Amino acid sequence: MTTFNELGLSPELLQSINNMGFEEATPIQRDTIPTALKGTDLIGQAQTGTGKTAAFGIPLIEKMDTKSRIVQGIVLAPTRELAVQVAEELNKIGQFKGIKTLPIYGGQSIVRQIKALKNGPHIVVGTPGRVQDHINRKTLKLEKVHTVVLDEADEMLNMGFVEDIEKILENVPSERHTMLFSATMPKQIQNLAAKFMKDVLLIKVKASEMTVKNIEQEYVEVKERQKFDALCRFMDIHSPELAIVFGRTKRRVDELSEALSKRGYSAEGIHGDLPQAKRDKVLRAFKNNTIEVLVATDVAARGLDISGVSHVYNFDIPQDPESYVHRIGRTGRAGKTGYALTFITPREIDHLYTIEKITKRKMVKRSVPSVSEAMEGQQQITLEKLMEVVEEDNFGGYKQTAVELLDENDSVTLLAAALKLLTKEPDTTPVKLTDEPPLSTKKRRPNNRFSDRRRSGGKREGGGGRDRRSGFSKDRSGSRDGGSRSGGRDQSYRSQKRVREDFKNRG
């Protein structure tokens, strides 16, 4: 066990960390912070939920000059939600040191962002497209930046942001400290490291230390048109405190959230086509327990850090094991046990086996509950709540009314009526969802997650208007854009080979 007191941090940072409730450093924090404080370029291979924001945020903030109100650090993130969350956490970490972090992203007024940038934040956290926009407008100057962080780099490449990332890095001084974090380590990440980083150290969180170990994982095999009724029955039995339901497309999310609402569940959906104000409103409601079910696409939920999520339902099986780990990582946090249930159609069983092989965890097969089983589940939940009230012994004002009722009715009839009133009975309101074809079992091209055929009203979600067929841009000749590095940071073929060999040896 490594405590933050052992990492040689300033009193101001230790005070912030203590206020945030952190005591023991996670594996990625334990290994990253001392190395980052030395200024060594590094790559952290870790999933969301392993504490990587604090892993790069603590050394980033420790190196800030609080007297200088200019941008000294920049963090790039794939989505708006993640940019906002990272900025919020960095502000908490830097609160006693006087560090100001500003999130900038598309969908928010650029005029407001320009005004905020003039106030002199120390750190900017942004999506690549909007950061590049500010650079082009000369409203964001990076000549004094000494630290760059690429968060969820694999996702940014999948979304087609590589060209923006390269242009941004070319605007940062060549003598800088670069930290890259990625859940997976494809060749594109290695190429990016060879091109823009020096003497890279790879820090890898072992699979046994991933958050999936705290998550009970099950699956149910069911026909496409029977999925929704099965979902409702499981939710009636589980009665989740907070649940996230994942759908494959934007259309699916819209239809699912509407259908769940018709069945009496407090549900809202988020995806990339929603206005930012609407997305923020839904997420606030979910965090505040105003709604109990969040329906989301992979991209919209990427990076969400919401405490208290008890259940994750994969209504549509994800397209790759990495997405599966990211999805179920929304639950089972802070040492708590989580639960994840995946729905598959008979033709998708091979995808399930692939996920089990990569995660090294077998999922338990479950059968679809019957209506009577769902009813029994709801009755049991009501009974438990009733007994909690009995144990609290705080109902004196109701006893006289109870005595009067018992004069006219027998106790069994009264208790049965009370249970019926309090129990949420299974709702059979008819709903119709558009069928989603099962995932193809044929091999896909690398990074092809966002290039699948677009269905009317059910398009897959990715970055706006970008070529998502690969993580790289192409020049006019059709070759992959390698580009040359500015600021004298070009590396020889031998240096690139050494980095790749280091990955191979460490991986």
Digit-coded pLDDT (tens) for 365-408: 999 988 787 777 777 777 877 887 788 878 777 888 888 888 88
Q: Which among 199, 177, 171, 70 has a CA at the least distance from the CA of 487?
A: 171
Q: For the chain, which residues make up each domain, given as ranges? A: 4-208+487-506, 217-434
Q: Residue 442 pLDDT more than 60?
A: no
Q: How confident is the model at residue 62 (pLDDT cuts 50, 70, 90)?
A: very high
Topology of 217-434 in CATH? Rossmann fold (3.40.50)
Q: Residue 180 pLDDT more than 90?
A: yes
Q: Cα 225 from chain centroid?
A: 28
Residue 88: count of CB within 10 angstroms of its CB: 15
How buried is residue 500: exposed, middle or buried, by Cβ count under 10 Å (0-12/13-18/19+)?
A: middle
Q: Residue 413 pLDDT more than 90?
A: no
Q: Residue 186 pLDDT more than 70?
A: yes
- pLDDT at residue 365, as a whole number: 95
Q: Residue 276 pLDDT more than 50?
A: yes
Instruction: Give, as one character, the DSSP assignment of residue 209.
Output: G
Q: How confident is the model at residue 303 (pLDDT cuts 50, 70, 90)?
A: low
- pLDDT at residue 489, as a whole number: 37
Q: Do domains 4-208+487-506 and 217-434 have the same CATH topology?
A: yes
- pLDDT at residue 501, as a whole number: 52
Q: Residue 207 pLDDT more than 70?
A: no
Which one has a higher pLDDT value, 206 or 283? 283
Q: What is the mean pLDDT of residues 322-351?
A: 86
- pLDDT at residue 440, as a whole number: 62
Which one has a higher pLDDT value, 464 or 106? 106
Contact call for residues 399 and 390 (beta carbons, < 8 A): no
Contacts 24+ apart (CB under 8 A), 455-458: 455/249, 455/251, 457/251, 458/249, 458/250, 458/251, 458/252, 458/434
Least confident of 23-27, 258-262, 465-469: 465-469
- pLDDT at residue 48, as a whole number: 62
* 288: phi then psi, degrees, rounded to nearest 5: -90, 5
* Predicted confidence (pLDDT) per residue in 471-490, tens digit: 333 333 333 333 333 333 33
- pLDDT at residue 356, as a whole number: 87
Rounded to the nearest integer, the mean pLDDT of the chain is 81
- Which residue spans within 152-291 are E strands per DSSP? 177-182, 201-204, 215-221, 243-246, 267-270
Using a pLDDT cut of 70, give the percent of the chain over it.
82
Amino acid letter at 431? Answer: V
Q: How confident is the model at residue 47 (pLDDT cuts 50, 70, 90)?
A: low
Topology of 4-208+487-506 in CATH? Rossmann fold (3.40.50)
Q: What is the largest CA-CA distance in the chain?
A: 93
